[in-house]
Amino acid sequence: CSNGSWGECSAPKAGNEVCDGKDNDCNGKIDDSNGNICPSGMQCKNGQCKPECLGGECAKGLQCVNGICEGVDPCKDVKCASGTRCSGGKCIDLCFFTSCTGNQKCEKGVCIEDNCYTKGCPNGEKCIDAKCQKDPCTGVNCPADQFCRKGTCVDSCFNVTCKSTERCVDGKCVTNPTTSGPCENVTCNSGEVCNNGKCEGSPCRGVTCPNGRQCVDGACEHDPCLHVQCPEGVCHIVDGKAQCVDKKQVPEENPGNTEGNNTGGENPTNTGGENPNSTSENPQGGGEKDEVLDGGTVGGKGNGDKDTTTNGNKIQSPGGCGCQVNGTSGQSPFVWMLFAFVLFGLVRRRQN
């Protein structure tokens, strides 16, 4: 449960054993000596690497107990440089105590992805699908009402106005399945989308993707807006494609759709040659942002009693139920006829 909303349960995976008082490799033993879990000349005790006694002798303030130097806190007066910490009176690299998995590397005790999303690319190249590639839009000059997407000029949606049952794709209004047909008069709670007349939870609800990725249909994929430069407006993802739209056209809160938005111009996350070394979230991207994992983690807002966004007619209604079908309401004609009959009888009675 996170922020009042139930989400997926992610159990930690087995890693390399380190001296921290935990069973990191899930073999049922804590800080076991299978492998070198402490630097040379030190032993792991009570989750800390402590120096061994050399010839029965220890540093000042320590005494030899069962082959290990113990006593007063050996790190009390020790100052270590950035990226290191004191253990047993010695400054040790933080990455010695950190176990990274998969395509990750350790920097100052933190596991980060070992690819161009975090390291950047040389000038003239862009990070696409975690690889440095030549920028396909280099040398491509588009008209004022178009923008470059994957090396091709595409019509912008900035000055295009569509009906409430439509949305703009590549400069043209097309049917929006979430606001048309059986979904035309359906109001969904925040974090839900209408599918064939019914409100359903978004596959991207609560999913946060790593640096340079965006959630599409529940999976973290390369952010289509990452390197798009909009001549006007902002970059907004529609059906997995980058579109340049007026900022007013972007929903203020629409975690239900697999859509995000970046401001126009170069996304500062991964420009060529730069090493952004930033957080895992796109600072200008759409969708939920909380934790980090390539497959996405759950930690978004709960729908609680938030106001709901209405597809199409922009009516606001309180949350709670899964969805609400808008319809006209009014008093029954029979009630009005009965009221008129009683009033007429009272008038005649007074006249008599």
First and final C-alpha spacing in the chain? 72
User: What is the structure's pLDDT at 5?
Assistant: 65
HEC per residue, the chain:
CECCECCCCCCCCCCCCCCCCCCCCCCCCCCCCCCCCCCCCEEEECCEEEEECECCECCCCEEEECCEEEECCCCCCCCCCCCEEEECCEEEEHHHHCCCCCCEEEECCEEEECCHHHHCECCCEEEECCEEEECCCCCCCCCCCEEEECCEEEECCCCCCCCCCEEEECCEEEECCCCCHHHCCEEECCCEEEECCEEEECCCCCEECCCCEEEECCEEEECCCCCCCCCCCEEEEECCEEEEECHHHCCCCCCCCCCCEEECCCCCCCCECCCCCCCCCCCCCCCCCCCCCCCCEECCCCCCCCEEEECCCCCCEECCCCEEECCCCCCCHHHHHHHHHHHHHHHHHHHC
What is the pLDDT at residue 175?
Answer: 93
Give me the residues paired with residue 104 across strands. Answer: 113
pLDDT on residue 14: 81
Predicted local confidence at residue 245, as pLDDT: 93
List, for residues 64-103, the tens digit of each pLDDT value. Answer: 888 888 876 778 789 999 889 998 888 999 898 888 877 7
Write out the two tokens for 90. Answer: 């010695």
The torsion of the CA quartet 226, 227, 231, 235, rounded to 10 degrees, works out to -20
Residues whose CB falls within 8 Å of the CB of residue 68, separated by 6 or more in sequence, listed in order: 43, 45, 50, 51, 52, 53
Could you state, in chain order, the average pLDDT of each consecutive group of 10 residues for the chain (352 residues)?
A: 65 81 86 78 87 85 84 81 88 87 82 81 84 88 92 93 91 92 89 89 82 82 88 89 88 45 38 37 35 35 35 33 38 56 59 54
